[in-house]
Amino acid sequence: MKYNRIMLKISGEALAGDKGFGIHHSTLQKIAKRIKEVADKKIQIAIVIGGGNIWRYRDTKESGIERTSSDAMGMLATVMNSVALQSALESLGCYTRVLSSVDIPQLAEPYIRRRAVRHLEKNRIVICAGGTGNPFFTTDSAAALRALELNCDILLKATNVNGVYDKDPRKSRSAKLYEELTYQQAIEQHLNVMDQAAFSLCADQNLPIRVFNFGKEGNLLKAALGEKIGTLVHQ
C-alpha cells in the first residue's frame, strides 16, 4: 500500500550527523536524497524538523533563560534547519516550500493550512517550521497537529533505532522490539519515542504512526510505501 500523503518527523539531531551539534553537510545531503526518493514516487510529503541540534530547553536549563524564551529560541532553530533542508532538496531538483508558524517573511511563508494543502497538491514538499508557534509544545506535537490538519495518511517518525522497544536497546540487550502497538499501550507504558501529547492527539483522530530507523538506507521509502518496518502504532 502506497500512501498518498505522509508526514515525516525528523529530529534536529539527525542533521548533525556524528558532530552532535549544528548541521553536517554530507548528512544533510543524504537526508535530502532519501526524501527525494519518496517524492519521485509521487507521494506528497510534509515534514516537521526538530531543533535539538541547535537549541533545546531541557539541554540548556542551566543557562538562566526562562522556559518561554528558551522555547522561542528552539522554534527559531527549527526554522534554520528547515531552510537548510529546503536548500538541500532544491539542489536535487525538488520543489519545496517552508511554511512557518513564526512570522519570518524573509525566510518562509506563513503557515496557512489551505496554502500548505495547495502546495502539497502541486507535489511540492512542504516543510512546516516553527513548531506549533507556542511554548511548552514539542515538535512531536507539532508533527501530529500538522499531519491532522493536512489530512496525512500516516505520521512517519524517524529515529536512530529500529522502532519502539520495551526498554532502551542501546542500554539493554534484552530489549524487545514491538512490531505493533495500540495508542493506549504506548501512553500507559510511557514509551518515550514520542511525547504523550502527540500520542494522545493521534489516538483521538486515529492517525497511525510508524516509528522506523531513518539511518538505514531505503527505510524511509519502504515506510512511505506501506511496508512493514519498525513499529506501527495504531488503534
Q: Is residue 191 part of a domain?
A: no
pLDDT digits over 118-154, tens only? 999 999 999 999 999 999 999 999 999 999 999 999 9
Reported confidence tier of residue 19, pLDDT bands at 50, 70, 90: confident
Q: Is residue 195 part of a domain?
A: no
CATH number of the CATH domain containing 113:
3.40.1160.10
Which DSSP string do the residues of the chain spell out, in sequence order? ---SEEEEEE-THHHHGGGSSS--HHHHHHHHHHHHHHHTTT-EEEEEE--TTT--GGG-GGG---HHHHHHHHHHHHHHHHHHHHHHHHHTT--EEEEESS--TTT-EE--HHHHHHHHHTT-EEEEESTTSSTT--HHHHHHHHHHHTT-SEEEEEESSSSEESS-TTT-TTPPEESEEEHHHHHHTT-TTS-HHHHHHHHHHT--EEEEETTSTTHHHHHHTT---SEEEE-
- Provide the residue range defining the domain that includes 216: 5-161+206-228
Q: Is residue 234 part of a domain?
A: no
Tell me how many domains the chain contains: 1
Q: Is residue 143 part of a domain?
A: yes
Q: Is residue 124 part of a domain?
A: yes
pLDDT digits over 183-193, tens only? 999 888 888 78
Q: Is residue 38 part of a domain?
A: yes
Q: Is residue 104 part of a domain?
A: yes
